[in-house]
Chain A
């Protein structure tokens, strides 16, 4: 009880309340422990409790300002919707990034106590409402990045030899979704990605990002920082240091001053375990690190969607598995929409919300497989029955296409 009181006294939102009021709130508190990876609550759930962090870290925007996507300072509050008036749902899903201890307070109790406190209750109440509204806004901003691909087609026709790379390709990636496109080589996955990125024209159909058409026949090619590509073989500028590579985007767009960009880059790098290599050149670090730096270089621009073109293809199996967990962690933290291309089926299912299987030339959508494995994901799930079942489904879809591609290849050779 008394240590709850101490914790409440350090919490910013309760600042200004009298000891007696705090005591009445503390009386209703209970301690909860969560292992790493556990979900405290999901977005959309009815808010019953608000939480104060005692130990550990959770994925939730920090209420103490800044662009932090993690709450890790003891005394910080999340789940504020529970205490606010007329809030019916949590805006974010909160998962524990490490072993976490929280103090849970019934929201109804907080409201009741604050209303009965004449000395500072209404000030705190207003503070709670403002914060809850801010969190809502953040959540709706997070909702951007919906990709819709509508009957997209691409015909390469250099000298009258019509090569249909992509035909009548349609699917949607919801905002914040992770979509993985798989298919044999030459199935047009890269063509599709290039069209989304703005490197290549479509010859039919359209691609929209949120409400904006980003690719359609005859439309000017316009790559931009709202959809950033992480390339297959990496495209860090070898002549710039790691830090200069990461700050490149914000600086050329004049979004930040150099000092600000460098601080932001350093804090991002620290968060993903890249601290200490700022002044090195890409040629001096390992290929796994280069990939991570490249993802950070993309994320610092706050893109709507991240396009990954077989980014882990050249990595060895062990590095690859580490990179998967790393990418998923970043995905959970940043909430960006991700469009990922691969021909590795396990990788596809392990990462995706939605696996898109494409047919071999002409590239069409053969099958959409929604992946309902719970997040956050870990490697134990690779042997779960559900995973194997999904893998079986995917293999059936892909194998046929691979065979077709193989035979077509044989014919071309013969």
Chain B
């Protein structure tokens, strides 16, 4: 993204150094620049190569790969309606009925996203905890030992405990996701506070700040880049545990669907669920990065990569 910005600059400069462009024009300029960039087309090429390699491996019947579906039949399965919905032509129907025509697919997405979102909100609690730990030595010393004891426990091994502790359907899954991302968020926030150059604390004291003002004006904004790193990592690991949790405790959701497809030996359905997870995870990451660029405008404008 940072690159696109700098690449767009000469185009703007060509008109006149002082030209001010509308937002839409800037968006168009950026898009145009991106479309003429090599890295964009390399990305497209990489994606094409991935699917071509998969297809080839399937067609050649390479060991292990013959158990898969071909990308084309997976795509057909994903996009065609189930029998009887439109026609009875076997060439235009999906076998398992799991794809853009099925309610189940949307319900799964909705459930998983809803769970992830709740877990994400809960794990935001890691931000104040990390900030407090970074701010006051005593809080850190008090919290750090139990924190470090809990942190290495893999989220999956929380599953039985989660089911015992939360006797409902949703809560254990959300708890599992939260556990996973909470540690990532907290630890990165703490790291963020530690990363602040001590000179800013000195400068703030010199200018007459109280402890609280230092917290507000130095610690929070100074740790912000790391907080976002933590949130991105947290989001990623929340998806890990979501799938784990749904496999064990769910009746809906993309993770549950992968397990369900496995039980029914519906490989295409399994692949659809997997790629859906990948795609939605990617979208959420992109969304978070958009927010990040806004919040860390001071970094982006200074030409630093974020």
Binds A, one of B25-33, B86-94, B167-175, B215-223: B215-223
In the complex, which range does the number of interface residues on chain B fall in?
20 to 34
In the complex, A237 has a CB within 8 A of chain B:
yes
Q: Which residues of the other chain, B, contact A281 by a CB distance below 8 angstroms?
A: 297-298, 301-302
Contact of B200 among A198, A237, A252 (CB under 8 A): A237
A283 touches B303 (CB 8 A): yes
- Stretch from B119-127, B205-213, B252-260, B265-273 forming part of the interface with A: B205-213
State the majority secondary structure of interface residues on A. Answer: loop
Q: Mark A203-225, 1 if CB is under 8 A from B, else 0.
A: 00000000000000000000111
Cβ–Cβ < 8 Å partners of B303 in chain A: 283
Are B202 and A239 in contact (CB-based, < 8 A)? no
What is the 8 Å Cβ interface bit string for chain A, positions 255-286, against chain B (1 contact, 0 not)?
00000000000000000000000001111100
Q: Does B141 contact A (CB under 8 A)?
A: no
B301, A283: Cβ atoms closer than 8 Å: yes
Task: Collect the chain A residues with CB atoms within 8 Å of residue B213's CB.
Answer: 252
> In the assembled complex, how far is the CB of residue A261 from the closest CB belonging to chain B, in whole angstroms?
12
Interface size class of A (residues with CB under 8 A): 20 to 34
Contact of A284 among B199, B200, B206, B302 (CB under 8 A): B302
**A235 and B302 contact, Cβ closer than 8 Å, known pairs A225-B208, A252-B208:** no
Interface-side segment among A15-23, A226-234, A400-408? A226-234
Is B208's CB under 8 angstroms from A249's CB? yes
- Cα A225 to Cα B206 in complex, Å, equals 5
B299 at the interface (CB under 8 A from A): yes
CA distance A203 to B302 in the complex (A): 42
Closest B residue by C-beta to A244: B217
In the complex formed, the residue of B with least CB distance to A255 is B208
Q: How far is the CA of A224 from the CA of B202 in the complex (A)?
A: 10
Distance A283 CA – B197 CA, assembled complex (angstroms): 15
In the assembled complex, which residues on chain A have CB atoms less than 8 Å from the CB atom of B224? Answer: 239
Closest-by-CB residue of A relative to B199 is A235
User: CA A233 – CA B199 in complex, angstroms?
Assistant: 9
How far in angstroms is the closest Cβ of chain B from A173?
Answer: 18
In the complex, the answer to whether A238 meets B302 with C-beta atoms within 8 Å is yes
Query: In whole angstroms, how far apart are the Cα atoms of A240 and B297 in the complex?
Result: 10
Chain B residues with CB under 8 Å of A231's CB are 199, 202-203
Inter-chain contacts of A337 with B (CB < 8 A): none
A229, B304: Cα distance in complex, Å: 27
Interface contact B221-A223, CB-CB below 8 Å: no
Give the chain B neighbours of A171 by CB distance below 8 A.
none
* CB atoms of A237 and B221 under 8 A apart: yes
Contact A248 B206 (CB under 8 A): no
With CB as the reference atom, state the residue of chain B lying closest to A307.
Answer: B206
A82 to chain B, nearest CB (A): 40
Q: Are A301 and B207 in contact, with the CB atoms below 8 A? A: yes
Instruction: Evaluate contact between B207 and A252: CB separation under 8 angstroms.
Output: yes
A225 in contact with B207 (CB, 8 Å)? yes
A-B contact count (CB 8 A): 77
Asked if residues B208 and A301 are in contact (CB atoms below 8 Å), the reply is yes
CB of A252 within 8 A of CB of B209, answer: yes
Q: Is the CB of B218 within 8 A of A237?
A: yes
Q: How far, in angstroms, from A260 to B209 measured CA to CA in the complex? A: 19
A26 within 8 A of B: no
Contact present for A228 and B206 (CB under 8 Å)? yes
Q: For B304, what are the chain A residues with a Cβ–Cβ distance below 8 Å?
A: 283
Q: A280–B298 Cα gap in the complex (Å)?
A: 9
Residues of A within 8 A of B204 (CB): 237, 248, 252
Question: Is residue A297 within 8 Å, beta carbon to beta carbon, of the partner chain?
Answer: yes
Interface digits, B276-306 against A, CB 8 Å rule (1 contact, 0 not)? 0000000000000000000001110111100
Whether A379 sits at the interface, judged by CB under 8 Å, is no
Nearest A residue to B207 by beta-carbon distance? A249
Looking at the assembled complex, report how far the CB atom of A399 sits from the nearest CB atom of chain B, in whole angstroms: 31
Q: A237-B218, A239-B221 are in contact. Are A297 and B207 (CB under 8 A)?
A: yes
A197 CB → nearest B CB, Å: 7
* C-alpha spacing A249/B208, complex, angstroms: 6
Say whether A228 contacts B207, CB under 8 Å: yes
Least CB separation from A234: chain B residue: B199
| Extra pairs beyond A197-B202, A240-B298 (20, CB < 8 Å) | A198-B205, A199-B202, A223-B206, A224-B208, A228-B207, A229-B203, A237-B200, A239-B222, A240-B217, A248-B204, A248-B217, A252-B209, A281-B297, A281-B298, A283-B298, A283-B299, A283-B301, A283-B302, A283-B303, A283-B304
29 residue pairs of the A-B complex, CB under 8 angstroms, read A197-B202, A197-B206, A225-B206, A227-B206, A228-B207, A229-B202, A229-B203, A231-B199, A231-B203, A235-B197, A235-B199, A235-B200, A237-B200, A237-B203, A237-B217, A237-B218, A238-B298, A239-B224, A240-B221, A240-B298, A248-B217, A249-B208, A252-B208, A252-B209, A252-B210, A252-B213, A253-B207, A281-B298, A297-B207
The 8 closest A-B pairs by CB, nearest first: A283-B302, A235-B203, A239-B221, A249-B207, A225-B208, A253-B208, A223-B205, A281-B298
